[in-house]
Amino acid sequence: MSAVSVEEHAAAVETLLAALGTRTEQRIPLTEALGRVSFEDVRSPVDLPLFRNSQMDGYAVDSRSVTKTPVTLEVSTIIAAGPTESAVLVPGSAAKIMTGAPIPEGADTIVPVEDTTIPSAGSVTIERGRGAGEFVREQGSDVRVGTVLVEAGRVLEPRHISVLAAVGFAEVDVRSRPRVAVVTTGAELVDAGSTLTPGQIYDSNGITLAAHLRASGAEVVAVARSSDDPKRFREVLDEARRSAELIITSGGVSMGDFEVVKDVLGPLGGAFGSVRMQPGGPQGMTLFDGIPVLSFPGNPVSTVVSYIMFARNIVRRAAGLPPILPSTATLHESVVSPPGRRQLLRGRLCDDGRVQLVAGPGSHLVAALAWADVLIDIDSETTELAAGSDVEVWPL
C-alpha cells in the first residue's frame, strides 16, 4: 500500500470488515434491552387486552336496562381486577366492577361510578345511561395475536420495552454486538495515575477507542497495551483474537525505527502505507489468522480521526445503528489546507449554524479535540477556503 486516497483506503477497509455485518441473535432479558437492536420482527403472542374488560370503575349492565334513567338496579355481584372466575350477569341487575376487571357475560356497557348514586345497600341508581360498548375494552382491540409489535432493526426505546412487557415477553432477541479488541502500542505509554518520567506520556488511546466503540454499539472485549517488543505484541494479538471479531491497534505504523505493528503484521500479509489525509496519514490493515486488524497511528488525535473516517460507520452498521453522516456548515473564518491531502480540522458548531476552528492542524492537540464537536472535512484539491464557504462537517 503506497499513498492512497481516503476513499480508496475506506473501500479496502470496508472489504476487510465485510464479515462483521453478519450478525447472530442474542437472547437477553427485557430489563437489559434498552438501546439494543431487535433482531427480527417481534409478533404478539396474545391478544391485547387479553380479555374484555372495563375501562372505568363503575357498574357493568345490559345497556337495555338503562335506556330510561334514573333507574335503580340490584347490585348482584362485585368484580375486582385480578384472577377471577368467568362471571355471568344476573339479567336486569348491575355488577359493580373495577377498572381492568373482566366484564361479565350479559353486560355490554359500563356506567361510570360518577354517574350513579347508592339509594340503599345492595342497589344502585343509574343517573345517566350508556349505549352498548361504552367504556368496554374488547379483547384484541389494542393488538391481535400475531401483530408485529416491534420491527426488526429497531433501537429499543422505553416504549418498545413497554409493549413487549405488556404481551408477556421476559426476554427478547437482539442483534449481537460486534466484539472488538483494542491494542495500544508505544514504549512511551504509561497508565493514568502514574508519575511520569521524562519521555513518557499517558496512554489515552485505549480508553478513547473503547469509549468510541461503545458509543458505536460495539462490545469492547479487551483493551490491552503492548510494548514495542515484537514478541510481546504478537502475544497480545494472539490473546485478543480469541474473543474479538475485529482488533484495532494504535501506534507503530509510521516511519520510525521501532514500528512494532508494521514490523510484526507487515510480514504476515498486512498492508501498511500512507493515506493522503491529515491527521492520520499512516494506516495499516491485516487479516491476522482470519481476524481483521485495523492499525491506526498512535497520536491521540490521529487515532480518533482514523476511527471516525474508517471504522465508525462500519461498526455502527454491524451493531444495527444508523450511520453518522456529515452535514453542511458555514465556515466562520478562512482556512488554508495543504494540497494533495484531505484535511480534517477540529471545529465547533455555533448556534448560528457556522463552524469555528478550535485549533490548528497539529495532530497532537487533544484538548482541542475535547472542545470540538465536529471534524471539518477539506478535500485534497482545496488549498484555501474563505470565511462564509460551505464545508462538510462530521459529528464527533
Written as one string, the DSSP assignment of 269-297 is T-EEEEBSEES--EEEEEEETTEEEEEE-
Amino acid found at 64: R
Q: Looking at residue 32, what DSSP letter applies?
A: G
Selected range binding a second copy among 16-24, 124-132, 149-157, 383-391, rule: CB under 8 A: 149-157
Residue 22 contacts by C-beta under 8 Å, 6 or more apart in sequence? none
Nearer to a second copy by C-beta: 102 or 320?
Answer: 102
CB of 95 to a second copy, least distance (A): 13
> Measured between alpha carbons, how far is residue 50 from residues 95, 102, 159, 222 in Å?
20, 10, 19, 46
Of positions 152, 155, 207, 385, contacts a second copy by CB under 8 A: 207
> Measured between alpha carbons, how far is residue 338 from residues 28, 258, 305, 378, 379 in Å?
50, 28, 17, 10, 10
CB of 281 to a second copy, least distance (A): 11
Of positions 5, 69, 72, 147, contacts a second copy by CB under 8 A: 147
Q: Please count the other Cβ atoms lying within 10 Å of the Cβ belonging to residue 51.
A: 15
Q: Is there a contact between 383 and 343 (Cβ–Cβ < 8 Å)?
A: no
Q: Is there a contact between 138 and 52 (Cβ–Cβ < 8 Å)?
A: yes
Residues 329-348 that bind a second copy (CB under 8 A): none
* Binding of residue 124 to a second copy (CB under 8 A): no
Residues 360-389 that bind a second copy (CB under 8 A): 362-370, 372-373
* Binding of residue 311 to a second copy (CB under 8 A): no
Residues 28-67 that bind a second copy (CB under 8 A): 30-31, 34, 44, 46, 48-51, 55, 57
Nearer to a second copy by C-beta: 204 or 389?
Answer: 204
Q: Is there a contact between 97 and 58 (Cβ–Cβ < 8 Å)?
A: yes
Selected range binding a second copy among 14-22, 119-127, 144-152, 322-330, rule: CB under 8 A: 144-152
* Binding of residue 299 to a second copy (CB under 8 A): yes
Nearer to a second copy by C-beta: 152 or 291?
Answer: 152
Nearer to a second copy by C-beta: 166 or 385?
Answer: 166
* Binding of residue 199 to a second copy (CB under 8 A): yes
* Binding of residue 270 to a second copy (CB under 8 A): no
Q: Is the dihedral of CA 357, 254, 219, 26 positive or negative?
A: positive
